[in-house]
Amino acid sequence: MIVEGANRNCKILTDHSYKNVGDLIPTRKVIFITDDNVYNHYPDFFQAHPHIILPAGESQKSLATIESLYRQLLDKKIDRHSFIVGFGGGVITDITGYLASTFYRGVPFGFIASSFLAQVDAAIGGKNGVNLDKYKNLIGTINQPSFVICDTELLQSLDQEILKDGIMEALKHFAIRDGSRFDWLMNNKQAILNKDDTILKELVKTAAQIKVDIVNQDENESGIRKLLNFGHSYGHAIEKLSGLSHGKSIAIGMQMAGKLSHQLGYCNKEVYLQLCEAIKAFDMPINSDLPFASLIDVIAKDKKKVDASIDYIFLKNIGQASIERIPLTTLSSLRNI
């Protein structure tokens, strides 16, 4: 799979061992960026490769981290002829992408995506960046890495809850683009949760392919790429207010987006219920106790809104969605059905 970016093409490699990352890097000075969790699972790899370790977690996605990393890169004599590899989940790939895109106005870089979410979503598509205060991903660029290694062997060390979080993004990809894959996901639920490598490989390939196809049509998110935001308006608000994980928040957000789609006549009730059943099958929540009005307050400040409207993703069928510009007030009209 290739992402055809404005600046460069990016190879998405689902059959390349992370141990052979050296094959992809020109003979240049290389530095790996990772987090302490990933480091502790793969110490042998890092002992053989120069690296910088960050504490794990979303709180690292800040300009303060970036500034500290710039200084560490200078100390290590990394320059624009060097190569930077982010080895980790979406937090590390977002940080590394922004760091490499801005240091010396752009140092070549690549990713070893080590979480399921990073392999099917976060590491693919060239978006990178950090948070500012409470605003998620407010600072960033769109710049493709040279490669993304999505080696499912790495998923064997991933915590089960974190795997399920990532599966919500794959479920979302299938819900908006591929109904038969959505059914396949349900039929293979147990094998996926058991981390059967053959099934995980097929899942990563097919879910990543959907993201690649969409990004290749709209790298800058002026149109079809917005489909990937299905469930994310309510979901990001829930994540911000509840502190629930991204996957759980998006699971609830998708339920709410599905319900609104039914309520406004975009899909029938069976489609909405099928979506809910799929989320629950992975033991993820579909409801939140948060006051609805507080979610709407947060959405009203969403960076994706355009004046008093928002481009919202409605589910039309399992495997089919559409983008509609609606007044923000429409999001307040969600009711119980």
Ligand X SMILES: NC(=O)c1ccc[n+]([C@@H]2O[C@H](COP(=O)([O-])OP(=O)(O)OC[C@H]3O[C@@H](n4cnc5c(N)ncnc54)[C@H](O)[C@@H]3O)[C@@H](O)[C@H]2O)c1
The answer to whether 12 contacts ligand X (rule: CB under 6 A) is: no
CA–CA dist 10, 124 (Å, integer): 9
Out of 21, 56, 84, 203, point to the residue binding ligand X (CB under 6 A): 56
Q: Applying CB under 6 A, which of residues 149, 154, 207, 257 lies at the interface with ligand X?
A: 154
161-180 residues in contact with ligand X (CB under 6 A) are 162, 165-166
Q: Does 35 bind ligand X (CB under 6 A)?
A: yes
Hey, how many other C-beta atoms are within 10 angstroms of the C-beta on 232? 22
Q: Sheet with 309-317: list strands edge to edge.
A: 305-306, 309-317, 320-327
* Position among 12, 54, 84, 92 found at the interface with ligand X (CB under 6 A): 92
Among 30, 32, 61, 240, binds ligand X (CB under 6 A): 61
Residue 224 contacts residue 209 (beta carbons within 8 Å):
no
Closer of 129 and 271 to ligand X (Cβ): 129
| Of 3 and 260, CB closest to ligand X | 3
Closest-by-Cβ residue to ligand X is: 90
- Per CB under 6 A, which of residues 106..135 are in contact with ligand X? 114-115, 117-118, 121-122, 125, 127-128
Asked if 37 is part of the footprint of ligand X (rule: CB under 6 A), the reply reads: yes
- Residue ranges in 222-261 that form contacts with ligand X under rule CB under 6 A: 246
CA distance linking residue 51 with residue 45, whole number of Å:
10
Per 3-state DSSP, the chain is made up of helix, strand and coil in percentages (nearest 5) of 50, 20, 30
Q: Which two tokens stand for residue 197?
A: 């490598």
Amino acid making up residue 200 = L
C-alpha span between 159 and 319 (Å, rounded): 29
Instruction: Check residue 221 for interaction with ligand X (CB under 6 A).
Output: no
Residue number with CB closer to ligand X (96 or 288) = 96
Question: What's 193's DSSP letter?
Answer: H
Distance CA 197, CA 113 (A): 16
Whether residue 281 contacts residue 171, with contact meaning beta carbons closer than 8 Å, is answered with no
Instruction: Examine residue 157 and tell whether it contacts ligand X (CB under 6 A).
Output: yes
- The binding site for ligand X (CB under 6 A) comprises 35, 37-38, 41, 56, 58, 61, 88-92, 94, 114-115, 117-118, 121-122, 125, 127-128, 137, 154, 157-158, 162, 165-166, 246
